[in-house]
Amino acid sequence: MSAHIVDGTSAAYTLVHILHFLCTIVLHREYIPFTAINCRKSGPVGPIDERAKNLDKGTPPNFWKDSSNKCFKAAKDLTNLLLEFENRGGSVETALSVFALHQVAVCGALVLGILFCESLGH
């Protein structure tokens, strides 16, 4: 990041990475229940709605846990990116960054409901 700060391209660098992490969060967030009520012991298990049970057929083992792990890792990486950028004296104040932080906050609320994330470090 310091090379981009020296070149003056740090805002563009940060926005591209925000977009990357946001896409990862949105892609994998879809497969996590909005309220992780029954996930504290086993982690995400896939769709619990009867209409969506067909999604669970033919999924690889640990697909739901891996998908949620990618989502939470992207949220953590996005937070770290913005914190590092701010610590170096930068600021990205765009609608995209605000929306990305909102998605990170939603993921943070989900982490509280999923116990296995503590062992992953997210």
Query: What are the pLDDT digits (tens) for 64-119?
Result: 778 888 888 999 999 999 888 888 777 778 899 899 999 999 888 777 766 555 55
Domain spans in the chain, listed from the N-terminal domain onward: 2-120
At residue 5 the predicted structure's pLDDT band, cuts being 50, 70 and 90, is low
Residue 11: its H or E element: helix 10-29
Instruction: Return the amino acid letter for 56.
Output: D
Other C-beta atoms within 10 Å of 78: how many?
A: 23
- The pair of structure tokens assigned to 83 is 């914190």
d(CA 89, CA 120): 30
Contact assessment for residue 42 and residue 115, using Cβ atoms and an 8 Å cutoff: no
- Averaged pLDDT for residues 8-26: 85
Percent share of the chain, pLDDT over 70: 60
Range from 5-9, 13-17, 30-34 carrying the lowest mean pLDDT: 5-9
Q: In this predicted structure, what is the pLDDT of residue 94?
A: 87
pTM above 0.85, yes or no: no
Instruction: Give the angle 81-85-90 at the CA atoms, nearest 5°.
Output: 150
